[in-house]
Amino acid sequence: MRERALPAAACLFLALALASCGIEDIPFLSPVPPVPQTTGTGAIGVALPPAGAAGFAQYFASFVIFYRIYLSTEGVLDTWDERAAISPALAGDYAHFLSWADPTGTTQNTAEVGRVFTNRGFFRLQLEDADITEVLGRASMGATMEVSFHPAPGQSPQLVLGDRSYYLRRAGEEARVHFHNHDPMPVTGTPPRFLPFFNDPQMRDGENLERNADVAGRPGAPEDQVQHSYALMYIAASGLNLDMPRMEVFSQPTFLGIFRLPNPH
């Protein structure tokens, strides 16, 4: 009888140990639906999930847009097949996230979304004169968001939500540790306010690439031919789980598009 009791006690101990350690519970957040695509410039409309979407009542905090900028010698993106010509780095990142952004895919661990984007050199989009986590917080659920890149020089790319529009801005103070404790270039204003998504010569300057951790260079291309830049963007719902300590969680990311940055003037 004693010999039979030992395995049962061991099993009970193992079950209690597993319960106390906890097997990672990954909350499900509904992803943003696929977005109608445009190439290079223009505007896209994004239907943000409503308040009743799966997981939103318990976990949702805000929508997050991840971006990375790529320098290029090419000024026209007419078809998606031209990704490699625009930038091999852009083509590589796009291929890497194909399975992550596949709405039919079920194999990716969404708990890893934030880390995977960070490890690929992506940053969180910011806005001029507004906190994007508030703009894309609970009040934005169910709304239609527009991201607009106009080709005209000096026309800042915008995020439009309802009757409000906001100029896009690169990451800066919020991600200083990733910029090797340097300010990205260019900067403007006092205290520094980082310029929005412009194809600025200072951003393209090879000497500033170490400062500009959100920019992928164009190795091997003559510097005088690197005259253009593009942004690759994804959007995901983010929130916090219910465990302690509370950890950030994400939905599956959705591909927003590849956008050509306008010249500053």
Q: How far apart are the first and last CA of the chain?
A: 87
Q: Summarize the confidence of residues 187-210 as an average pLDDT.
A: 82
Note the pLDDT tens digit of each residue in 120-164.
999 999 998 899 999 999 999 999 999 999 989 999 999 999 999
Domain hosting 125: range is 27-260
Which has the closest alpha carbon to 196: 110, 130, 111?
Answer: 130
Is 8 inside any structural domain? no
| Higher pLDDT pick, 20 / 249 | 249
In a domain, 4, yes or no: no
Contacts 24+ apart (CB under 8 A), 201-206: 203/69, 203/229, 204/71, 204/229
**CA nearest 145: which of 69, 77, 65?**
65
At residue 182 the predicted structure's pLDDT band, cuts being 50, 70 and 90, is low
Residue 73 within a domain: yes
Given a contact cutoff of 8 angstroms between Cβ atoms, the answer to whether 226 and 114 are in contact is no
Distance CA 181, CA 221 (A): 28
- Rounded CA-CA distance 169/167 in Å is 6
Residue 265 falls within a domain, yes or no? Answer: no
The mean pLDDT value for 185-210 works out to 82
- Give Cβ neighbours of residue 26 (< 8 Å, ≥ 6 apart): 109, 110, 111, 249
Place of tokens 């880390």: 115
Q: Kind and range of the H or E element at 160? A: strand 158-161
pLDDT at residue 259 in the model: 93
Residue 3 lies in a domain: no
Q: Which residues of 117-153 are buried (b: 16+ CB within 10 A; e: fewer)?
A: beebebbbbbbeeeebeebbeeebbeeebebbbeeee
Which has the closest alpha carbon to 197: 67, 73, 87, 79? 67
pLDDT > 70: percent of the chain: 83
Residue 13 lies in a domain: no
| Residue 239 lies inside a defined structural domain of this protein | yes
The answer to the question of residue 181 being in a domain is yes
Residue 255's closest CA among 150, 60, 122, 131? Answer: 122
What per-residue confidence (pLDDT) applies to 5?
43
The token duo for 256 is 């927003």
Q: How many domains does the chain have?
A: 1
What confidence tens digit (pLDDT) does each residue in 221-258 have? Answer: 998 999 999 999 999 999 998 887 888 999 999 999 99
Tens digit of pLDDT for each residue in 72-113?
999 888 777 788 889 999 999 999 999 999 988 766 788 889
Whole-prediction pTM value?
0.88
